[in-house]
Each structure stands twice: as C-alpha cells, then as structure tokens.
Amino acid sequence: MKRYKNASELYDIFYKERKEDIAFYNRILKEYKKTFSNNKVIEIGAGTGRVLLPIAARNPDLEFHAVDVIGDEIEVLKEKAAREGIKNIVTHVTDINDFQPKEKFSFAFAPFRVMQHCQSLDEMDRFVKSTKDLLTDDGRFVFDLFNPWVHMLVREGVVFEGNYHDDDGNKINRRVEVNERDYFKQTQNIEEYYSVEYTDGKKDNFEWLYTTSYFFKDTAALILEKNQLTVENLYGNFDRTPFGKGQYPGELIFDCVKQQKGR
C-alpha cells in the first residue's frame, strides 16, 4: 500500500479540479509562440507540475524548464513526467535569483500566485529583475496574483477545511489556518495541516508552514515598469476578462513584454 512521504505528494489531490489557469497559460503560450526567437520556456515555481505537465504534453515542440526551491515537489513532477511519457521538461531545484541557465527564454510564467512568496517589495523587485534578465529580447512574462480583498484579509484562524479521498480510497483531511498577519509588511503566516487515514487503519500527519505577501495592482505595475517590463494586458479572470470589468475581487493576471534596449 502506498504511504505518503511528505505534504508535496498530497498537493495534486487538493487541486485536481483547478484547470482554468492551465487552459489560460496554454492558450496564451500557443498564441505567442509564433513570435518566439527560440523554443525555450520557463515556469517559475513549477511545484509538482500541476500546470506545467499538461501544457508541456500539448506543446512537444517547446523545451520547458521547471524551477522550484522545494526539491520534494520537483521530485513529484519528475515522477509524473516519467509516468506520463513527457520528455520535454528540464528540472532545476534552485531559487530564481540564483538560476544561471546557458540560454535565455522566450517565455516565462509564474502561475498560482508564486510571486506572493516574496515577503517584501525588495524581494519582489529582485524576483522580477531576475526573471527579466532570463528573457530574450521581446521575451514575455505572464503571472497571476490574487487581488487583495479587505474582507478576507481580516480573517484569522481556520480559513479552510476539507475532506478528500485519493485514488486508493485513503481519507485525507486538509486544514488551512492563518495564524498571524502583519498589516504594515502585508504578510500573513499560514499553516496547513494534513491528516491521512489509510484504508488499513494506519495514519500519517503532515504540516506545511509558510509566509505569503499580498500586493496591490499599482504596486506590482510599478515594479514591472521599473524593470523594463511593459504590461500589455491586465486580466481579472482566466477567461481574459479585463481587470475591473468582471466579478470582484477576481485575479490579477499580468501579461508583460520585455522592453528592447534603446526604446
């Protein structure tokens, strides 16, 4: 019987119904790839490959580089890629600020609010600069954040709890708690607890502690501008509804192009 080794192995169970961002990034990548100067694409914060794997499978002409600081998650991605026969992915366990590839990338994307793990404006600035430096001339960077919603930002304690079953019938409880917020730094400390009850009666418990930040639209836009990334489109939803036109609070989805030198 399968035994989970860590929380990373549980991730896909909780998000298997989340597909709208996969469709968005795949669609926008297909639209832009005819303008690429090479076939290199990078996903920053690739995690277990929830977004990357189906996109790589649908675009065998592109070479995808998966970057993440969590080695356990990259191992899950590699196992899934091997199992599904997806061979156009290169993995890297590193911080994006330390990544030094041999070639530039025509397209970079950071889905599912990866940039909100930056815990200050300085960290966000370094993240954006590092990403811009990895791009070819006229390369593109697309990413999403959540649009900060005041009503949600005042909540503390348990903000989510749900029960799941994996394919083997094991029961999994997931609880997410916000333990502390710093309204000056715009950060929140989050703990996720996982309780697994296997079909043979044995149990495992895992936890994941992390800090995330939230950034408002204009703050993110200024940091992009500072780093010579022009926002060509700003969406409020993965169906590409323009920001401010759809349901509140929606998402913050930035579609940016690198400014050519001398312009």
pLDDT digits (tens, 9 = 90+) for 5-33: 999 999 999 999 999 999 999 999 999 99
pLDDT 10s digits, 127-159: 999 999 999 999 999 999 999 998 888 888 999
CATH fourth-level superfamily of 7-147+215-258: Vaccinia Virus protein VP39 (3.40.50.150)
Cα-based distances in Å from 144 to 147, 158, 196: 9, 24, 31
**pLDDT, tens digit (0-9, with 9 covering 90-100), for 158-212:** 999 999 999 999 999 999 999 999 999 999 999 999 999 999 999 999 999 999 9
In contact, 230 and 259? CB cutoff 8 Å: yes
**Whole-model pTM?**
0.95
Average pLDDT, the chain: 96
Which pLDDT value is given to residue 263? 52
> Average pLDDT for residues 94-108, to the nearest whole number?
97
> Helices in the chain by DSSP H: which ranges?
11-15, 20-32, 52-58, 71-84, 121-134, 150-153, 217-226
What residues contact residue 132 under an 8 Å CB cut-off, 6+ apart? 141, 227, 228, 229, 258
**Domain extents in the chain:** 7-147+215-258, 150-213
Q: What is the architecture, at CATH level 2, of domain 150-213? A: Single Sheet (2.20)
